[in-house]
């Protein structure tokens, strides 16, 4: 709101009253923030990397908070939100003038900007911003009522009411600001400026009943106090509403992890003071995880992309973030009211079918415009159930037994046969030859799964064609730890991790190439937490580089196989941002690449991540079948993958859809190896 001189209309008494109202509401606002932060601070401080890379953090926070790029994947609501947001920023500058003039009535920004062009431009910006924010809010309200998306219509009644409250408050704020601006323009209290929108809104709102300057002065004073009342009541309401994300969004964006999204924090299993491992109560979460809960605006963008939710599972990432906050508030209530018993977070607010449905694909975190990190909280709940209570889906008993006794989640195999696939491949083990450039980390699937053994052989063929020296660890290689970690069994995971690290340090391994994104992610992003670092590359990256630099040559794929769609592995794509390399390889072979509607950052999980590969899927539709149908709908004759889990799930999905004869599922390396010159 823009202030002009009010002569004697703003008396010392009115300034005193304004001071009481404003300072009281501002103080209550500050107290609300202080209390909320005190609650958030009850979380553990085990996040040790939230203050690193400060220049990058600051720049990334400015870009994401100002331009909100993630929101524009859904253009219409994002555009409306942007109009409201950017307009509100402009209006807030006018509100600053309101506050100062409340204490000293003769103040306005012309003291700083002068009475000419700059102050006139400021007035025009307020005239325009008030109007566009008002119309954008009216459109948003009408759209919510008449054409709400599923993610909005599925909100609870309280959240719906809160949204309407806040929208109404902001509308009242800009409407009263516009009326006051128009009134003062009619009263001659402002320098010459074409304030057409404010004049029009004011004239229509007053029905043309005000004509004299004195009446406009009086009307302005009434509207000014109405504007102050709206502003101060909004300050009082905001710290307790779901729209307190206005307060916490920027800090939450700033404190986002700088590490790869696919990384899980390690646990100190030797902590003798720990009463339990994992998270059962909200105070066992980190302060950042609790901040996530208070930052969530319940927009539902995470829900909209979650493969579990979209296939009828009970998991809703929005509810998970919501539950982090309300579980903590329930716990605080129990601390203050001895007659109240708090519900646990795990198996209280969040049920078992919710946290066990997660594929840890990262779609929720990719979609969230506020930097909320859902996966670590979900895995922490699994850790509690697995490590502390020993409760997990029954089918995982065999998986954990296999990992403990045979160093692989695969059943019906022997560790002694881990390197049998390499017979007649002219492949050496490190025990036989450690003077090589690369360790080819084969992984459990590449070693034991009959179908993916063909991929291992294709990778070998390509490495040999490029004259790259490499060896495998053979029976000295054990499961990388991904499956156990994401199923909550940190004990088994760390056992494998430590043994693998000892082996690789023994051979002084510095470069690793692997055909499995889960091995790739774990060794690259999580092994450094345990003291081992190496250059880790996925086979799709290495192959693309070899083709680009002419170290291998390949002919175009046959015409009847040239129509290809590529399925992005979550742990290669979203978690590690390897999107283009597999596609560039396919294009280099003359493939006609047909993208699925959901691809790259927006790609859909195959359903196997997060240990779901080893669990039954009994609720809703099967994720892999939904994804396979999306691939089939492209009309491509080949579905290209770059992950053993994706290979299995997509093959099963294509078969379930009755397309096993017409659609072939192949790894990128197989397509290249088949066409090497």
CATH of the domain at 318: 1.10.1060
3-state secondary structure of 438: strand
Do 410 and 348 sit in the same domain of this protein? Answer: no
Residues 378 and 409 in one domain: no
108-112, 233-237, 582-586: least confident range: 108-112
d(CA 277, CA 269): 8
Mean pLDDT of the chain: 92
CATH of the domain at 454: 3.40.50.1860
Residues 21, 226: Cα–Cα separation, whole Å: 12
Residue 447 domain boundaries = 400-548
Q: Is 636 inside a domain boundary?
A: yes
Mean pLDDT of 404-424: 96
Q: Which carries the bigger pLDDT value, residue 252 or residue 191?
A: 252
On whether the CB atoms of residues 667 and 455 are closer than 8 A, the answer is: yes
Task: Please state whether beta strands 638-641 and 511-514 pair in parallel, antiparallel, or not at all (unpaired).
Answer: unpaired
- Flag whether pLDDT at 227 surpasses 90: yes
- The whole-number pLDDT of residue 675 equals 96
- In this structure, the answer to whether residues 91 and 234 fall within a common structural domain is yes
User: Does residue 46 register a pLDDT over 70?
Assistant: no
156 lies in the same domain as 192: yes
Q: How confident is the model at residue 270 (pLDDT cuts 50, 70, 90)?
A: confident
* Structure confidence at residue 226 as a pLDDT band (50, 70, 90): very high
Average pLDDT (503-512) is: 98
Is 180 in contact with 126 (CB distance < 8 Å)? no
* 524 & 430 share domain: yes
Q: How confident is the model over 539-580, as pLDDT tens digits?
A: 999 999 999 999 999 999 998 889 999 999 999 999 999 999
Q: Is 571 among the domain residues?
A: yes
| Residues 539 and 575 placed together within one structural domain of the fold | no
pLDDT in tens, 69-115: 888 888 888 888 888 889 989 998 998 988 998 888 888 888 888 88
HSE-CB at 513 with a 13 A cutoff on CA atoms is 20
**Of 332, 361, 388, at which residue does a domain stop?**
388
| Domain co-membership, 359 together with 407 | no
Residues 6 or more apart whose Cβ sits within 8 Å of residue 22: 99, 102, 228, 232
Where residue 48 falls among pLDDT bands split at 50, 70, 90? low
> Is 619 inside a domain boundary?
yes
Ordered DSSP codes for 70-101: GGGGSHHHHHHHHHHHHHHHHHHHHHHHHHHH
Task: Please determine, for residue 246, whether its predicted confidence score (pLDDT) is greater than 90.
Answer: no
Mean pLDDT across 233-245: 88
Q: Tens of pLDDT along 290-341?
A: 999 999 988 899 999 999 999 999 999 999 999 999 999 999 999 999 899 9
> How many CB atoms are located within 10 Å of the residue 390 CB?
7
Predicted TM-score of the model (pTM): 0.91
Q: What pLDDT, on the 0 to 100 scale, is given for residue 192?
A: 63
pLDDT band, residue 9 (cuts 50/70/90): very low
- Return the bridge partners of 438, or none: 470
Nearest Cα to Cα of residue 465 among 554, 405, 394, 529:
554
Kind and range of the H or E run holding 154: none
- 508-545 residue pLDDT tens: 999 999 999 999 999 999 999 999 999 999 999 999 99
- DSSP strand pairing (638-641 vs 563-566): parallel
47 lies in some domain: no
Q: Please report the pLDDT score of residue 404 as a whole number.
A: 96
5 within a domain of the structure (yes/no) = no
State which of 388, 417, 443 marks the end of a domain. Answer: 388
What's the token pair of residue 649?
A: 């799930």
Residue 5's pLDDT band (boundaries 50, 70, 90)? very low
Residues 194 and 308 in one domain: no
Looking at the structure, do residues 234 and 332 belong to the same domain, yes or no? no
> Is 54 contained in some domain?
no
Q: What is the mean pLDDT of residues 342-355?
A: 96
Does position 6 have pLDDT exceeding 80, yes or no? no
Q: Look at residue 314 and tell me if it is in a domain.
A: yes
In this prediction, residue 272 carries a pLDDT of: 79
197 and 101 together in one domain = yes
Average pLDDT over residues 487-505: 97
* Contact call for residues 650 and 627 (beta carbons, < 8 A): yes
Q: What is the pLDDT of residue 2?
A: 45
pLDDT of 642-670, one tens digit each? 999 999 999 999 999 998 788 999 999 99
Q: How confident is the model over 216-245, as a mean pLDDT?
A: 90
Does residue 585 carry a pLDDT above 90? yes
Can you give the pLDDT at residue 150? 77
Tell me whether residue 254 is in a domain: no
* CATH at 596: 3.40.50
pLDDT at 193: 62
Same domain, 405 and 357: no
Distance from C-alpha of 302 to C-alpha of 321, rounded to nearest angstrom = 10
Number of domains present in the structure of the chain: 4
**CA–CA separation, 490 and 553 (whole Å):** 43
| pLDDT for the residue numbered 330 | 96
CA distance 552 to 672: 10
Write down the pLDDT at residue 188. Answer: 85
Pair (224, 98) in one structural domain:
yes
- Among 548, 574, 593, which residue terminates a domain? 548
Count of CB atoms within 10 A of residue 17's CB? 14
């Amino acid at each position: 709101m823009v202030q002009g001189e009010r002569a004697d209309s703003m008396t010392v008494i009115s300034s005193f009253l304004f001071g009481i109202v404003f300072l009281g509401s501002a103080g209550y606002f500050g107290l609300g923030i202080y209390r909320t932060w005190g609650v958030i601070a009850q979380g553990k401080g085990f996040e040790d990397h939230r203050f690193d890379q400060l220049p990058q953090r600051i720049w990334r926070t400015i870009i994401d908070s100002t331009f909100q790029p993630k929101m524009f994947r859904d253009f219409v609501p994002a555009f409306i939100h942007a109009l409201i947001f950017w307009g509100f920023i402009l209006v807030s500058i006018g509100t600053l003038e309101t506050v100062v003039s409340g204490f000293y009535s003769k103040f306005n920004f012309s003291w700083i900007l002068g009475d000419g062009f700059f102050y006139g431009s400021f007035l025009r910006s307020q005239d325009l911003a008030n109007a566009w924010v008002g119309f954008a809010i009216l459109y948003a309200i009408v759209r919510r009522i008449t054409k709400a998306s599923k993610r909005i219509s599925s909100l609870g009644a309280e959240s719906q009411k809160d949204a309407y409250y806040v929208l109404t408050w902001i509308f009242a704020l800009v409407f009263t600001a516009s009326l006051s601006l128009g009134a003062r323009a009619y009263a001659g209290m402002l320098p010459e400026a074409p304030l057409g929108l404010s004049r029009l809104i004011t004239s229509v709102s007053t029905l043309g009943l005000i004509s004299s300057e004195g009446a406009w002065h009086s009307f302005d004073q009434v509207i000014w106090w109405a504007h102050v009342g709206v502003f101060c009541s909004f300050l009082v309401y905001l710290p307790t509403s779901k729209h307190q994300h206005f307060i916490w969004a920027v800090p939450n964006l700033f404190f986002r992890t700088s590490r790869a999204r696919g990384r899980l924090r390690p646990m100190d299993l030797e902590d003798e003071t720990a009463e339990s491992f994992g998270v059962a109560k909200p105070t066992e979460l980190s302060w950042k995880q609790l901040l996530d809960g208070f930052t969530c605006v319940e927009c539902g963008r995470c829900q909209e992309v979650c493969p579990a939710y979209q296939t009828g599972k009970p998991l809703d990432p929005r509810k998970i973030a919501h539950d982090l906050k309300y579980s903590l508030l329930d716990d605080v209530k129990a601390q203050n009211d001895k007659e109240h018993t708090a519900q646990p977070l795990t198996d209280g607010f969040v049920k078992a079918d919710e946290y066990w449905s997660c594929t840890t694909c990262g779609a929720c975190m990719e979609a969230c415009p506020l930097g909320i990190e859902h996966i670590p909280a979900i895995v922490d709940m699994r850790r509690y159930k697995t490590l502390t209570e020993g409760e997990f889906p029954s089918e995982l008993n065999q998986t954990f037994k296999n990992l403990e006794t045979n160093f692989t989640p695969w059943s019906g195999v022997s560790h002694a046969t881990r390197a049998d696939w390499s017979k007649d491949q002219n492949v050496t083990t490190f025990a036989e030859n450690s003077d090589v450039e690369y360790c080819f980390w084969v992984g459990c699937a590449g070693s034991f799964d009959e179908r993916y053994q063909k991929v291992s052989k294709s990778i070998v063929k390509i490495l040999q064609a490029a004259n790259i020296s490499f060896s495998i660890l053979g029976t000295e290689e054990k499961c990388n730890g991904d499956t156990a970690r994401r199923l909550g069994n940190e004990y088994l995971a760390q056992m494998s991790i430590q043994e693998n690290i000892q082996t690789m340090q023994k051979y002084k391994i510095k470069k690793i190439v692997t055909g499995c994104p889960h091995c790739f992610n774990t060794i690259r992003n999580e092994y450094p937490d345990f003291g081992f670092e190496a250059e880790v590359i996925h086979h799709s990256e290495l192959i693309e580089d070899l083709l680009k630099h002419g170290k291998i040559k390949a002919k175009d794929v046959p015409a009847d196989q040239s129509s290809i769609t590529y399925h992005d592995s979550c742990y290669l794509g979203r978690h590690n941002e390897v999107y283009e390399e597999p596609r560039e390889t396919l294009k280099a072979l003359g493939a006609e690449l047909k993208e699925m509607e959901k691809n790259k950052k927006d790609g859909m999980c195959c359903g196997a991540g997060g240990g779901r590969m080893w669990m039954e899927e009994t609720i809703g539709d099967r994720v892999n079948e939904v994804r396979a149908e999306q691939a089939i709908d492209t009309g491509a004759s080949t579905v290209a993958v770059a992950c053993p889990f994706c290979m299995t799930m997509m093959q099963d999905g294509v078969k379930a859809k009755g397309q096993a004869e017409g659609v072939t599922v192949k790894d990128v390396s197989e397509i290249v190896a088949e066409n090497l010159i």
